[in-house]
Structure 1
Amino acid sequence: MNTVLRGKDCELIDVAGSVIGYAKCTVESAESDLGLSKPKREIVPSRAGAIEIHVFDVVNASDDFPDHTKAIRALSQENEKIFYEYEFFNVASTSTASGHYVFNASGSSTKLVPRDRFNEVVGQNRVVDWSKIKCFDCAPTPADAFEALCREILLKSPYYSDREFIGTGVDRGRDGEYYFTEKPFPNKEKKVKCILQCKYSSSPTTAIKQAEIHDELVKIEQHTPRYYVLATNRKITSDFRDWYCSEGLNKFHFEKILVNREELEYLIQSDSALWSKYFGR
């Protein structure tokens, strides 16, 4: 058998065409690629039992989903602009063991899909449960792990340089310091300093308070950054947002950027390695 898809996010479909669960899947076939290398909408004929689909990490499905699954749709990303949807038809369950399910399919089709369709399925599989963020030796508490996560998001980006992350202790409000380059004119470049501040809670319903951030802003002023970036998974109330963006805070000589929980979750769910490291099952 040849592995033609490995560890892809997928939807489990019933006889009515409704989604009854989400999972990961690996697809094997006696044929070389099932025609999956080229997008096409028609069914690719296959020999009976020639397509074998291994399903695992199932979420949002009932216990008897194997009996009701009649099709499986898997999503894959080739690059930043190209996304595929693979659909497997006439699916039948053949075995079940410790959260691992095997199905046979007799036909398949492939088509190009937009990024939104890919993100829709991936987001269902990559659940971000902030109360279960993974800790490590270098990040032994959930708050430390959250800081490490925010730092890693920055490290993955090619747009920033000279990144210095502050360890535990008296840091005058900083969790990270980094730079990026602005171009005020085509042949003119200028390095701009940013300060990163991370605020975590195991419960995203816990609101962030004005008082705690005002004290941090006073500390940050000593470092003369161009931007102060507050990254938080905590609840941002309308009052806090209005205060944070208010003209009254212009006494500080830097611009304030707010990165909220939804923005963080989008970045995490869009990066399979990042999600697996901090939230994977």
Structure 2
Amino acid sequence: MKSPTNMDILKKVKPFMGEVCSLYDENGQFLAKGRLQISTFSMLMNNYQAHEPMNDIGKVEVTVKDIDMAVEEGAYSIHSIVLEQGEYIYLEVKNFNYRCDTNNLTQEIDLNLFSISNTDQETYNSFLTKKHELDWTNILIPNGCTGGDSASKADAFESLCQEIIQRWGAKVFSGIGKGTDRGRDGTFQVEADSWIPITTNYSNSWILQCKYSETYKNLEIRDIYPEMIKVIMHQPDYYLLMTNRKITNDFNDWFDSKLMQDTNYFIPFKKIIIGRQQLEHILATKEMIDLKRKYFG
């Protein structure tokens, strides 16, 4: 059987350009997700379309960007799967040493080291959902976070939440320290049309509530409802709850209900919850990756 040419391999690599990839260590342990780039690909394809000779091109520069955890120089395997014309195509580059520059991994790799094959939907779905889970039990307590010298992990979580919403454009932010906080961990304002999908152009007042647990225990109605009652006196437009705790279906149903069943007070403000999975997704974005390193190392 005729061996595939460099051009054959490049054609197969094309669908993976800019796609999500997984990083594994030398022992096959999943580490992180990133985005795959091959910087010389466009140039090579332009040469090919111009019918210029390709036989002397045996390497391409592979870069993994937007990595959702801190990495360093070393050996990694790259895996990626794409759906192309109804087929699931699997790419792998095994155990190759990469340089690290500002958390991007880069190396020139021989084209014949790319392994490309077909796979199935189950493997594809597993690839999409696999991610680097954060160790919330060991969240770091950086200098300057809420609580000062006596800051706890709960304080660190609160500071993390505050930093996230300030990156989102929160204005006139005021954090609330320990003590009688009247049910709030912070107050802030945002321009409505810059953060939430409504058409008004006025500023909205928000209350931020943070709930952290080292043991990832269930978030209960009794943990939140008394705090929400205290918030009523501040007359916010929105109540934002950010938590790493487990959110049950029962809690979600209660939190989303307009009448807050089985309670004695009508809650006049809108309620939004951002849970652990959403937080991990937020911290995996390019805009928040430095916060992820700050609080998780």
* TM-score normalised to structure 2 length: 0.57
Of 221, 230, 235, the match for 2:241: 230
Alignment-derived partner of residue 272 in structure 1: 289
1:127 equivalenced with 2:137 (yes/no): no
Q: CA shift at 1:22, angstroms?
A: 3.9
Q: CA shift at 1:234, angstroms?
A: 0.8
Alignment-derived partner of residue 98 in structure 1: none
How many angstroms apart in 2 are the aligned matches of 1:92 and 1:171? Answer: 52
Q: CA shift at 1:47, angstroms?
A: 7.5
Does the 8 A contact of 1:94 with 1:104 survive in 2? no
Q: Please, which moves more after superposition, 242-251 or 164-173?
A: 242-251
Of 127, 134, 142, the match for 1:136: 142
Alignment-derived partner of residue 203 in structure 2: 191
Residues 207-233 of structure 1: CA distance to partner in whole angstroms, max 9, x if unpaired?
A: 112122121012111211111111111
Alignment-derived partner of residue 182 in structure 1: 192
What are the residue-to-residue correspondences of 1:11-160 with 2, within 5 Å? 11=22, 21-22=30-31, 34-35=40-41, 105-107=109-111, 126-139=132-145, 140-158=151-169, 160=170
Secondary structure at 2:202's aligned position in 1? strand
How many angstroms apart in 2 are the aligned matches of 1:45 and 1:123? Answer: 39
Distance change in 2, residues 1:213/1:146 (3 Å): same
Does the 8 A contact of 1:194 with 1:227 survive in 2? yes
How many angstroms apart in 2 are the aligned matches of 1:121 and 1:220? Answer: 42
How many angstroms apart in 2 are the aligned matches of 1:196 and 1:126? Answer: 27
Of 245, 266, 283, the match for 1:251: 266
Secondary structure at 1:229's aligned position in 2? strand
Q: CA shift at 1:127, angstroms?
A: 2.8
Residues 11-43 of structure 1: CA distance to partner in whole angstroms, max 9, x if unpaired?
A: 458xxxxx8644699xxxxxxx64578888x9x
Does the 8 A contact of 1:126 with 1:269 survive in 2? no
How many angstroms apart in 1 are the aligned matches of 2:280 and 2:96? Answer: 33
Alignment-derived partner of residue 261 in structure 1: 276
* TM-score normalised to structure 1 length: 0.60
Residues 89-122 of structure 1: CA distance to partner in whole angstroms, max 9, x if unpaired?
A: 6x66579xxxxxx98732389xxxxxxxxxx989
Q: CA shift at 1:123, angstroms?
A: 8.0
Amino acid paired to 2:269: F
How many angstroms apart in 1 are the aligned matches of 2:293 and 2:129? Answer: 13
Larger fraction in strand: 1
Does the 8 A contact of 2:141 with 2:156 survive in 1? yes
Distance change in 2, residues 1:123/1:213 (3 Å): same
Secondary structure at 1:263's aligned position in 2? helix
- State the identity as a percent: 29
Secondary structure at 2:204's aligned position in 1? strand
Distance change in 2, residues 1:12/1:177 (3 Å): closer
How many angstroms apart in 2 are the aligned matches of 1:155 and 1:122? Answer: 29
Does the 8 A contact of 1:224 with 1:254 survive in 2? yes
How many angstroms apart in 1 are the aligned matches of 2:167 and 2:58? Answer: 44
Secondary structure at 1:235's aligned position in 2? coil
Secondary structure at 2:201's aligned position in 1? strand
Alignment-derived partner of residue 117 in structure 1: none
Q: CA shift at 1:269, angstroms?
A: 1.7
Unpaired runs of at least 5, structure 1? 1-8, 14-18, 26-32, 60-64, 74-86, 96-101, 110-119
Unpaired runs of at least 5, structure 2? 1-19, 49-53, 70-74, 81-90, 99-105, 115-125, 146-150
1:242 equivalenced with 2:253 (yes/no): yes
Q: Once superposed, what is the RMSD of the aligned Cα atoms?
A: 4.7
Alignment-derived partner of residue 208 in structure 1: 219
Aligned residue pairs total 222
How many angstroms apart in 1 are the aligned matches of 2:41 and 2:198? Answer: 49
Amino acid paired to 2:143: D
1:173 equivalenced with 2:176 (yes/no): no
Amino acid paired to 2:177: G
Distance change in 2, residues 1:176/1:11 (3 Å): same
